[in-house]
Structure 1
Amino acid sequence: MSHSTDFPIRRMGRDDKHYFFGYYDKSNWNRAGTRLLGNQVPWRDAYLTPDLAANVGYFDLEGDSGFKPIGRTTAWNWQMGCQLQWVGMGGQSQAIYNIRTDDADARYPYFASEIVDIDTGGRRQLPIPIYVAAPDGEYALSIDYRRLYVTHETIGYSCDRYKPVLDNCPPDDGIYRVELATGEYRLLVSYADLANFHPRNSMRKAIHWVSHIEVNPSSDRILFLHRWTERVEDETCFLHRLITMNPDGSGLRLLECSDHPLPQLEDDFDPGAVGTFDYEKSEWQISHPLWRNDTEIIVWGPHDGGIHYHLYEDRDSGKVTAVGRGVLTENGHMTYSPVNPRWLLSDTYPDSTTHERVLFLFDMETGNRHELGSFYADPKLSKENRCDLHPRWRADGRAVCIDSMHELDRDMYIIDVSSVV
């Protein structure tokens, strides 16, 4: 296995363990750049069951650069980890992540979340798992990871080696808001609400779910993907909508819908013939949305007959602008620099022949793409245990962190991009 980069690159860990953080949407650096959150496991690519535990912790970049465990969890997956993230925008001594419990009567049985103060060692539990914590540190948003295990196993949590039977669009489940100070939670929008919001015929017999929930920098607006399908085993049958709302569940706004005919629903269609990355490369996919600022959202998806990186304005005007037309031609995990929105960081999925993933920066002012490196991805890995680069910015915008397996082990890497930005 190999990689190619002309930029300074530093591998974390360098021991007999494997390290990863997970998704692209949360920076694992604290604002001071002295601590780097991550997960530590003894396996490179294990099939996940409820008894497999990961150590949760951080690399001490100010000290010996060693990994410092702060907890342990069995509520995780290879794509998103345990939703480990910093709490608030201040000193960021607290981190939050998902755990399993023995509470069968919890809103989502046996799942919860835990906040740990790294400086004091103090910890407390919240009675519900979280998806994302608002930047202001006041609240977090929650969904049912058992539902994700049924609908989109890659980002769900395994359920005792079986998939539970769930209602298609229940009125008592959806996106919950939990107050981080008290643990109190309430339903903001239900699946029944979403099925009745600009309804489509394709929704009537489908199971519904939500993913990619993100809060804007001011914590006063929320985006999410509403998805539905009649065939959960085939991701090319997923249908998608990009929606925003207020933190109290009001002000729903539909920004994009990719509902389209599905020949895959015919009885003679073979889901096994679908390639590992066919879903991410689908011409109908709406994926990887993230706030550029308080009112703009970058996303990969179709609009007005073409699929591109698109910039949406979260306003009634519905303005949509294609980004990097002819240059950014395939899906990726994209984020803007936290200090200069001129720079868009992203990656590609593996090339079907070389199995290489490309990491790059896109200059919004000049339209130029600067390649940061190419990293080999083992084609034998499955959909569930693959290792995407998922690039994440440091707060000063001068370095990025990726997960990669190009050196066989699953590891985290820091890449210095200061010479470009």
Structure 2
Amino acid sequence: MVKKIIKTVIGQKRITAMKQVIKYVKDIQYLHSNPRIKVGEDTVLYQKYSQKGKHVFFGYYDISQFDVEEERMLVHCLDKKADAHRDMADLGYYKVGSGEYTRFASTQAWCWQQGARLRWHPFEKDYVLYNDVDKNSYVARLYNLAENRTVSTYCDAFYDVSPDFSYALSLNFSRLQRLRPGYGYSVLPDKTVKDVAPNDDGIFYIDIHNNEKKILVSLADLASDVSDPNVDQHYINHISISPDGKRFMFFHIWTLKGDSHWRTRLCVYSFVDGKVDVLENKARVSHYDWKNNDELLVTCWDEKKDQYYCIYNTENKNKTILENKYLNHDGHPSIFGKERYFISDTYPLLHGMQTVFEYDLKSCVYRPLIHLYSDARLFEEKRCDLHPRVSQSEKYITIDTTCEEGCKQEILIKNWRNI
């Protein structure tokens, strides 16, 4: 009863903020005698990329940050006190080695966790893609860095793009932001506020050549076989196209009435038969990566809130849990090394420290690469997950971090296997 009164008088946001400040003070005491960055054995901390008083970050881990030559790495740059609802984010790139920064555009369509889904074109040099707002609509832009101009503007924002650049997939970014702050965009109002599972909303297919879109998977269809009596609203997040472009995975999520928690289903759509298969509907799926065209590496939470990594086979729907005492925390995995290894990270653990690590799927060997402090003053949607990303050649690993100065910055380490 007392807790409810305090929450009503002070407000949950202020209570959370006070808790984070207290945590930060405790962390600082620890950091007086311990490093904010601790590099693992054989790991080389190559370069840091930051700007005074600004956040510099890439965003999610499921997109390549480097160009083909691995000479430039894309970033978002914004003021320390930026508001995703009203402020623009600058888009630019750093030269690897020299650290020279070049700004090329700005956008209204960005969020703290996934940025503007900024990425390089799948195969055209000097071309980048990013989401923006144009005439009260979310759009995607194709920008030519060599000519400093926008080449094309597409009819909706892109969530993911096919490897051959023939199609893109999208969703309602305003609905996503409302139901999962930090992952969608808040510039434009969500017109589906009162809809539990709209028939005309869900996953959209965009024909890039014709610049036309159609609904591919509706929320109404997904919700039709959900019997949960506590359902509040349904939405989509985390769309990821397979390496061959013939299918894609996504999370079907629904919020619960009077509850801050949610339920998830891991789904895969096949362009071959046009059907949606549900791979997981009991455990709460969290993060993912395609291991190959048929298998997915996924992190999960069970009903007891225990966390683990597992591999799903999309053909036979088998699930294999990776049994290892170190793989007991949620993270953001990326497969590399011809499917033998993956890198991932942890959320802040003791004293606010996070770890980026490598795991050998063949020998089951866990290797910590770097430990970084996570500033407790950035929390909820503004938090900074490490989101480690491996470059195409597997030479570099980049990380978003708040280990220094209370702002997001980029850290680049050399993959010890390629030194």
Partner-residue secondary structure (3-state), 1:250: coil
Match of 2:242 in 1: 216
Match of 1:274 in 2: none
Give the residue type in structure 1 aligned to 2:57: F
Aligned counterparts, 1:94-105, within 5 A: 94-103=127-136
Q: Offset at 1:398?
A: 2.1
Q: Offset at 1:205?
A: 4.1
Question: How far apart, in 2, do the equivalents of 1:232 and 1:398 lie?
Answer: 47
Cα distance change, pair 248–14 in 1 and its aligned pair in 2 (3 A): same
Question: How far apart, in 2, do the equivalents of 1:203 and 1:87 lie?
Answer: 44
Cα distance change, pair 247–98 in 1 and its aligned pair in 2 (3 A): farther
Aligned counterparts, 1:211-290, within 5 A: 211-231=237-257, 234=260, 237-247=261-271, 250-258=274-282, 284-290=283-289
Q: Offset at 1:70?
A: 2.0
Q: Offset at 1:200?
A: 2.5
Match of 1:299 in 2: 298
Match of 2:210 among 178, 182, 188: 182
Aligned counterparts, 1:156-175, within 5 A: 156-159=184-187, 165-175=193-203
Match of 1:380 in 2: 377
TM-score, with length taken from structure 1? 0.84
Cα distance change, pair 187–162 in 1 and its aligned pair in 2 (3 A): closer
Q: Offset at 1:166?
A: 3.9
Structure 2 contact 92–105 (Cα < 8 Å) conserved: yes
Match of 1:8 in 2: 44
Match of 1:349 among 347, 350, 370: 347
Structure 2 contact 375–402 (Cα < 8 Å) conserved: yes
Question: How far apart, in 2, do the equivalents of 1:239 and 1:95 lie?
Answer: 35
TM-score, with length taken from structure 2? 0.84
Aligned counterparts, 1:311-330, within 5 A: 311-315=311-315, 317-330=316-329
Q: What value does the CA root-mean-square deviation take over the aligned residues?
A: 2.4
Query: Structure 1 regions of 5+ residues with no counterpart?
Result: 104-109, 259-283
Give the residue type in structure 2 aligned to 1:95: V
Structure 2 contact 253–263 (Cα < 8 Å) conserved: yes
Structure 1 contact 98–129 (Cα < 8 Å) conserved: yes
Question: How far apart, in 1, do the equivalents of 2:323 and 2:101 lie?
Answer: 38
1:361 and 2:358 equivalent?
A: yes
1:57 and 2:92 equivalent?
A: yes
Give the residue type in structure 2 aligned to 1:99: D
- Which of 296-305 and 239-248 deviates more? 296-305
Match of 1:48 in 2: 84
Query: Structure 2 regions of 5+ residues with no counterpart?
Result: 1-30
Give the residue type in structure 2 aligned to 1:194: L
Q: Offset at 1:177?
A: 1.0
Partner-residue secondary structure (3-state), 2:174: helix
Match of 1:116 among 121, 127, 143: 143
1:67 and 2:91 equivalent?
A: no
Question: How far apart, in 2, do the equivalents of 1:286 and 1:22 lie?
Answer: 20
Q: Offset at 1:221?
A: 0.9
State how many pairs are aligned. 379
Question: How far apart, in 1, do the equivalents of 2:265 and 2:143 lie?
Answer: 35
Give the residue type in structure 2 aligned to 1:98: N
Structure 2 contact 347–385 (Cα < 8 Å) conserved: yes
